[in-house]
Amino acid sequence: MSSKLILAIETSCDETSAAVIENGNRMLSNIVASQVKSHQRFGGVVPEIASRHHVEQITLIIEEAMREADVTYEELDAVAVTEGPGLVGALLIGVNAAKAVAFAHQIPLIAVNHIKGHIFANQLVNEMKYPLLSLVVSGGHTELIYMDNPGSYEIIGETRDDAAGEAYDKIGRVIGVPYPGGKHIDEMAHKGKDTYHFPRAMIKEDNYDFSFSGLKSAFINTVHNAKQKNEVLNDENLAASFQAAVVDVLVDKTIRAVKEKQAKQLVLAGGVAANKGLREALTQAVKNEAEGVELLIPPLDLCGDNAAMIGAAAFVQLEKGEFADYTLNGRPGLSV
């Protein structure tokens, strides 16, 4: 097979990223500029600030990705970009940069769904095999997605309210850790014990949906009640109890789904895939309860937002000739 090169761009939230990917599975470069420090003092991503940073960074990041990959624009087979979901102003910066590259060098433009990108981050490390089941857990999404082949996506379960990462970030604010709280709560959880026994919402229900807002409320009530009584709670135990509740439900429903769907692989994806507790519990559960299923977990640097995963997903579309035209727009609410 002749080698195919894709320049990929990702600007859906608060990372400006560009990557060059060969044949959908080999990373020649993956440059990620995080804006997290600019948003931290606001306790969350401020869309206007995100867009402004993307504008300042995008050209430099693309050039750096091309330089590090040692590839010329003439060698590219396509340019791919995240079209959604995400912040509309942020998406537009990437989309316009990609259109400019496509037009200037007369190469095809590929529009990629961010969620599909997260799933395909795994392809950069291991060959994905079908049928597979993916647990997508990020700041904006919590979904169980069944894939019969590389181009088919069936959402078999999803959150009815907060995404897992969103719940982490919200309770992180209550405990007082910097935004985004997920990573900090994860670290604290490992030093504590599940002493508060928060609810495992919907764990017994006969479906693959999730709910995290009740857990979030239970957590916040526990902290507020203690404050009113001047009681001091153990933050590490609080974090461990919260994490245990999240992980229990995610793992329980995912294992049930992987067995029912008779998937060959279970593929973890999204920012919360970096969670140590989840990685460990899922590994253990597959070993004990889903023998024969191959578990793929992306390395930590490919769990969060990055352009390499967009390039990996785009390769499937390149092979099928699924191209976008210059009317491409940011689609903030795009689903899989």
Which positions touch ligand KG4 (CB under 6 A)? Answer: 13, 138-140, 165, 168-169, 180-183, 186, 270-272, 274-275, 304-305
CB of 319 to ligand KG4, least distance (A): 25
C-beta of 108 vs 271, nearer to ligand KG4 = 271
C-beta of 53 vs 261, nearer to ligand KG4 = 53
Answer with the entry of Zn ion, ligand KG4, none that 169 interacts with (C-beta below 5 to 8 A by kind). Answer: ligand KG4
C-beta of 102 vs 246, nearer to ligand KG4 = 246
C-beta of 180 vs 330, nearer to ligand KG4 = 180
C-beta of 24 vs 181, nearer to ligand KG4 = 181
3-class secondary-structure state, position 81: strand
C-beta of 99 vs 116, nearer to ligand KG4 = 116
Residue 14 touching Zn ion (CB under 5 A): no
**Is residue 185 a contact partner of residue 170, using CB atoms and an 8 Å limit?**
no
Answer with the entry of Zn ion, ligand KG4, none that 275 interacts with (C-beta below 5 to 8 A by kind). Answer: ligand KG4
CB of 293 to ligand KG4, least distance (A): 23
Sheet of 15-22: strands edge to edge? 26-34, 15-22, 5-10, 78-84, 109-113
Nearest 10 degrees: CA dihedral of 300, 278, 118, 200?
Answer: -150
Please, which residues bridge with residue 112 across strands?
82
Answer with the entry of ligand KG4, Zn ion, none that 150 interacts with (C-beta below 5 to 8 A by kind). Answer: none
Neighbours of 37 (CB within 10 A): 9
Handedness of CA 171, 174, 177, 180 (dihedral sign): positive
Answer with the entry of ligand KG4, Zn ion, none that 274 interacts with (C-beta below 5 to 8 A by kind). Answer: ligand KG4
| CA dist list (Å): 157 to 160, 250, 256 | 9, 11, 12
Please, which residues bridge with residue 8 across strands?
19, 80
Among 81, 250, 305, 318, contact with Zn ion (rule: CB under 5 A): 305
CB of 122 to ligand KG4, least distance (A): 14
**Is residue 316 a contact partner of residue 149, using CB atoms and an 8 Å limit?**
no
> Interface mask (CB under 5 A) for Zn ion, residues 114-143, using x and -?
------------------------x-----
Sheet of 294-296: strands edge to edge? 154-158, 142-147, 132-137, 265-269, 294-296
State the residue for tokens 């140590």.
Answer: 276
Contacts of 161 (CB under 8 A, 6+ apart): 211, 212, 213
CB of 180 to ligand KG4, least distance (A): 3
CB of 259 to Zn ion, least distance (A): 27
Residue nearest to ligand KG4 (CB): 271
Q: How many Å apart are CA 109 and CA 81, to the nearest integer?
A: 8
Answer with the entry of ligand KG4, Zn ion, none that 186 interacts with (C-beta below 5 to 8 A by kind). Answer: ligand KG4
Residues in the site for Zn ion, rule: CB under 5 A? 138, 305
